[in-house]
Amino acid sequence: MKRIFVFIAMISLGACKSPEARYPVSQNSGSYISESITKNQELLKKEVAKIEAIIKEDSTREYKPSQNGFWYVYNKKTSDSTNKPNPEFGDIVEFDYSISTLDNQAIYAEGEKETRTYAIDQEKLFSGLRQGLKLMKEGETVTFLFPSYKAYGYYGDKNKIGRNLPIKTKVTLNKVTEREELKPEN
């Protein structure tokens, strides 16, 4: 009986060995990431060159570069004296928009998309439009030129917009409801 206890004790002590780290069978050098970065930089250069050519060709209007990596032009601008605020975090906006290629081929024509109600920075919307809405005031219409990374990027919209497609988006901001207006009165 004593031998059985000694045997169990030896097995128990042998099983207490600390686990060893497993190492990968092969290691990658990270070249895939480097290739991907290079490919995306080249894609961005081509898209920016095309956008700049459109801006140069349309010399009658004044396109502005945004700090967020896209360009825009006012189709209808409200006067600065109206004191209407730009939408901020949490404000509810109602807007209409259409989307086309940079060559003006309609993807979603005007009226094809329903009027959209959106809470600024609290709902899903592609990054360029989310940032563009903050530049607008109620009643304005703006055309945005978005490189693909600011639009629908690598995946597209899984419907009509393909991958890595720069787009032109015309947006009319119909109404802005500020956060304070949303709070119940006491």
Q: Report how far residue 99's alpha carbon sits from residue 111's, in angstroms, rounded to the nearest whole number.
A: 11
Token duo for residue 53? 């050519």
The residues with which 97 forms a beta bridge, in sequence order, are: 171
pLDDT at 23 over 90: no
pLDDT in tens, 32-49: 788 888 999 999 999 999
pLDDT-based confidence at 83, cuts 50/70/90? confident
Residue with tokens 């250069």: 45
The CATH number for 63-181, chosen from 3.90.230.10, 2.40.50.100, 3.10.50.40, 3.40.190.10, is 3.10.50.40
Token duo for residue 118? 């959106």
pLDDT for residue 128: 95
Reference 96, options 79, 72, 112; nearest CA is 112
Average pLDDT over residues 13-25: 65
pLDDT for residue 102: 95
pLDDT for residue 58: 92
Average pLDDT over residues 129-139: 95
pLDDT-based confidence at 11, cuts 50/70/90? low
User: Which amino acid does the sequence have at 31?
Assistant: S
Q: Where are the domains of the chain?
A: 63-181
Higher pLDDT, 2 or 172: 172
Reference 172, options 146, 143, 131; nearest CA is 143
| Biggest CA pair distance of the chain | 101
pLDDT for residue 62: 94
pLDDT for residue 181: 56
pLDDT in tens, 144-170: 999 999 999 988 888 899 899 999 999
Higher pLDDT, 186 or 42: 42
Residue 100 has phi, psi (to 5 degrees) of -140, 170
